[in-house]
Amino acid sequence: MKFRVERDALAEAVAWTAKSLPNRPSVPVLAGVLLRVTDGNLQVSGFDYEVSSQVTVEVQGDADGATLVSGRLLAEITKALPAKPVDIAAVGAHLELVCGSARFTLPTMPVEDYPTLPEMPVSAGTIDAAAFAAAVAQVAVAAGRDETLPMMTGVRLELSGGTLAMLATDRYRLALREIEWNPEDPEISLNALVPARTLHDTAKALGPLGGQVTMALSQGAAGEGMIGFVGGPRRTTSRLLDGANYPPVRSLFPATQNAQAQVPVSALIEVVKRVALVAERTTPVLLSFSDDGLVVEAGGTEEARASEAMEATFSGDPLTIGFNPQYLIDGLSNMGTQFAVLSFVDAFKPAVISPVGEDGEVVPGYRYLIMPIRVSR
């Protein structure tokens, strides 16, 4: 195998593929990226039996072939190379990389020991890449991090006709985003639970490429339990989580509301960050709403306290409610609008944050529910 490639294209391809490699691989070859040159195209592949990543780059190919080399080491090297064409050749049990006057020799691993990447499932439809990335970012923030509860670490995709709904919860907050997409089958009705981290990393990588992302999802055929995404020269597949017993979380959204506040998003984020400086990790910030506006308070150990007043438009009986400050900031940060509406039943029921458009109306499609923390005052 021998080829020449532009430094930036190589570094980007290797970095993206290496990002999904395991930190502690069960077998050494899974820490590698597979470089395969065929007919002037370089395929950079990574696979850990859960997630596969592959990107295709045009190269000047002198000799076709394949080699397997440490992914993270190659990513660090290619990122540090000077901005010049890179010559790569497999020589015996080593990979030689030359860029300008820089020369690296890396040990390779046996290609024949590397597992075959899974086939892409059947295409289910396409979605705008930028809209997909933005929607996933809004929802994935609410997914759980506790690996002992794998179901909570996923984002549930609900495909129903031309609507794609995404849901995620860690039991303390819940995010729901609904967007339009272009299904292959207008009557499609499928659910899938995708690992949140994989979905977020994939959407974040495919979003800036623009165009359309193809979503591939097995429908009881070969490759069941897999989902795939293709955008530009990049493709990735992931095993699905078992979502058979996913709780009916939509029912958590209150059917009614007794109070509502409209707040400037960036201002409230800054106030919560400042006030929370005195709070312990498990200490909530208190939001007190009245006709006069909003007061944000927090108390920590050794009598450290903080409070700050800010403008807010409030309707309903005066209300004081406590929230985990980071969960509140996460929700506000993903509104994507200048103003947001907080809807309340009472101080002990979940509150719902929704984005507000320039016309003062709630923007449909995104809701972020957050559980309050009971506070004795």
- Contact between residue 217 and residue 223 where contact means Cβ atoms under 8 Å apart: no
How much of the chain exceeds pLDDT 90, in percent?
A: 82
For 186-201, what is each residue's pLDDT tens digit?
Answer: 999 999 999 999 999 9
CB atoms within 10 A of CB 165: 18
CA 58 to chain centroid: 28
Q: Domain 2-109 belongs to what topology?
A: DNA Polymerase III; Chain A, domain 2 (3.10.150)
Exposure pattern of 61-81 as b/e (b: 16+ CB <10 Å)? beeeebbbbbbbbbbebbeeb
What pLDDT, on a 0 to 100 scale, did the predictor assign at position 115? 93
pLDDT score of 300 more than 80: no
The rounded mean pLDDT for the chain is: 92
Give the CA radius of gyration of the chain: 25
Q: Which residues pair with 109 in a beta bridge?
A: 68
Question: With bands split at pLDDT 50, 70 and 90, how would you rate the model's confidence at 221?
Answer: very low
With CA atoms as reference, report the closest residue to 135 among 186, 47, 194, 185: 194
Q: How confident is the model at residue 97 (pLDDT cuts 50, 70, 90)?
A: very high
pTM metric for this prediction: 0.90
Amino acid at residue number 272: V
| Residue 152: pLDDT over 70 | yes
**Superfamily, domain 253-370:** DNA Polymerase III, subunit A, domain 2 (3.10.150.10)
Portions of the chain given CATH number 3.10.150.10: 2-109, 123-250, 253-370
Q: What is the pLDDT of residue 303?
A: 76
Q: d(Cα 354, Cα 357) in Å, to the nearest integer?
A: 10
Q: Tell me the mean pLDDT in the region 335-360.
A: 94
The CATH classification number of 123-250 equals: 3.10.150.10
Whole-angstrom distance, CA of residue 236 vs CA of residue 234: 7
How far apart are the C-alpha atoms of 77 and 20, rounded to whole Å?
Answer: 17
Nearest to 120 by CA among 244, 213, 10, 34: 213
pLDDT over threshold 70, residue 107? yes
Amino acid (one-letter) located at 159: L
Supply the pLDDT for residue 80. Answer: 94
Residue 218's alpha-carbon distances to 80, 84, 128, 129, 213, in angstroms, are: 40, 42, 21, 21, 16
Record the tokens describing residue 320, joined without a space: 């004081």
